[in-house]
């Protein structure tokens, strides 16, 4: 994580308006537990490129880890206006709605993903999370079982661990969380 942040910082020294470097730096900072720095990267991204649909995603997702998922939601939702076919925006909005207890809105995003990108691991994660939140644990576990393997990067592994735990399979959830870390 430290190397990633350092290299992205070097890229931003060369080009402070590099939206990709800002996005990934914000993600890396947040993942490393440097929440305020991640939020600052999200703010800078919004200032530098307010028409990037991913700027709102970064800004709002940093707020997830700050325990304030409602903050930045307006900017995040605006990203969907800018890029209505982007599955990552649909996933991250659905996840935000789930964090906020807005199951109907989370379900809408999960249904959109299931209809358009059914095999995407993020689709399986969001659909199963919503099913678990709705108390349909058996369905959530069946949805998770559609993944051919559980060998993903740390980010999706972390989120899959949440779905397993919420569906009642805490042992697999903890195992995945450990693997993701």
Q: At what angle do helices 137-144 and 154-166 cross, to 10 degrees?
A: 150
Quick: pLDDT tens for 53-66. 999 999 999 999 89
Quick: pLDDT tens for 59-109. 999 999 899 999 999 999 999 999 999 999 999 999 999 999 999 999 999
2 or 98: whose pLDDT is higher? 98
Nearest CA among 70, 88, 76, 8 for reference residue 41:
8
- Whole-angstrom Cα distance, residue 80 to residue 64? 18
Cβ(89)–Cβ(116) under 8 Å? no
């Amino acid at each position: 994580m430290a190397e990633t942040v350092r290299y992205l910082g070097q890229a931003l020294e060369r080009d402070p308006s590099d939206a990709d470097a800002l996005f990934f730096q914000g993600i890396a900072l947040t993942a490393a537990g440097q929440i305020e720095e991640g939020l600052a990267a999200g703010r800078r991204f919004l200032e530098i490129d307010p028409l990037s649909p991913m700027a709102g995603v970064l800004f709002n997702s940093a707020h997830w880890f700050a325990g304030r998922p409602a903050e930045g939601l307006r900017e995040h939702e605006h990203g969907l206006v800018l890029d209505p076919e982007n599955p990552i925006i649909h996933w991250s909005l659905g996840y935000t709605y789930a964090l906020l207890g807005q199951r109907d809105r989370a379900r809408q995003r999960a249904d959109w993903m299931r209809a358009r990108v059914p095999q995407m691991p993020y689709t399986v994660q969001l659909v199963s999370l919503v099913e678990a939140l709705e108390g349909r644990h058996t369905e959530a576990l069946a949805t998770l079982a559609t993944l051919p393997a559980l060998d993903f990067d740390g980010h999706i592994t972390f989120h899959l661990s949440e779905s397993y735990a919420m569906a009642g399979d805490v042992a697999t959830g903890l195992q995945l969380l450990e693997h993701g870390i």
